[in-house]
Amino acid sequence: MAALRIATDSISDVPPDLASELQITVVPCQVFWGDEIYQDGVDLSPQEFYEKLARSADLPKTSQPPVIRFVEAYRHLLEVEECEAVISIHVAGNLSGTVNAAWAAAQAQADPSRIEVIDSGQLSMGLGWAVIEAARMARRGLARQEVSRAVHEMLPRLRGAAMIDTLSNLYKGGRINQVVAALGTALQVKPLIVIQQGRAEMVDRVRTRSRAFQKLVALVHGWGPLAEAAVLHTGAEESAHELAAAIEDQAPGRDIMVLPAGSALTTHLGLGAVGVLAVLAGDGR
State residue 278's pLDDT score.
Answer: 96
Residue 243 and residue 233 share a domain: yes
Find the CATH number of the domain harbouring 112: 3.40.50.10170
The pLDDT tens digits for 197-236 are 777 787 788 878 899 999 999 999 999 999 999 999 999 9
Q: Residue 56: exposed, middle, or buried by beta-carbon count in 10 A (0-12, 13-18, 19+)?
A: exposed
Please answer whether residues 174 and 61 qualify as being in contact, where contact means their C-beta atoms are separated by less than 8 angstroms. no
Residue 168 and residue 119 share a domain: no
Q: Is residue 73 part of a domain?
A: yes
Residue 265 and residue 196 share a domain: yes
State residue 167's pLDDT score.
Answer: 53
State residue 172's pLDDT score.
Answer: 44
What radius of gyration, in Å, describes the C-alpha atoms of the chain? 19
Strand 25-27 to 4-9 pairing: parallel
Reported confidence tier of residue 54, pLDDT bands at 50, 70, 90: confident
Q: Which stretches of 37-177 are DSSP H helices?
A: 46-55, 67-75, 98-107, 124-139, 144-154, 168-172
The pLDDT tens digits for 96-111 are 899 999 999 999 999 9
Reported confidence tier of residue 181, pLDDT bands at 50, 70, 90: very low
Spatial distance between the Cα atoms of 121 and 8, rounded to a whole number of angstroms: 13
State residue 199's pLDDT score.
Answer: 77
Domain range enclosing 37? 4-156
Find the CATH number of the domain harbouring 193: 3.30.1180.10
- Residue 280, pLDDT > 80, answer yes
Residue 222 and residue 107 share a domain: no
Separation in Å, CA 159 to CA 82, 195, 211, 281: 34, 6, 21, 11
Domain boundary among 109, 137, 156: 156
- Residue 171, pLDDT > 70, answer no
Domain boundary among 156, 186, 208: 156
Residue 198 and residue 106 share a domain: no
**Other beta carbons less than 10 A from residue 171's beta carbon:** 20
Q: Is residue 285 part of a domain?
A: no
Number of domains, the chain = 2
Residue 177 and residue 100 share a domain: no
Q: What pTM, to 2 d.p., does this model score? A: 0.90
Spatial distance between the Cα atoms of 175 and 268, rounded to a whole number of angstroms: 9
Q: Residue 227: exposed, middle, or buried by beta-carbon count in 10 A (0-12, 13-18, 19+)?
A: middle
- Residue 254, pLDDT > 70, answer yes
Domain boundary among 124, 141, 156: 156
Residue 174 and residue 193 share a domain: yes
Please answer whether residues 6 and 25 qualify as being in contact, where contact means their C-beta atoms are separated by less than 8 angstroms. yes
Residue 275 and residue 182 share a domain: yes
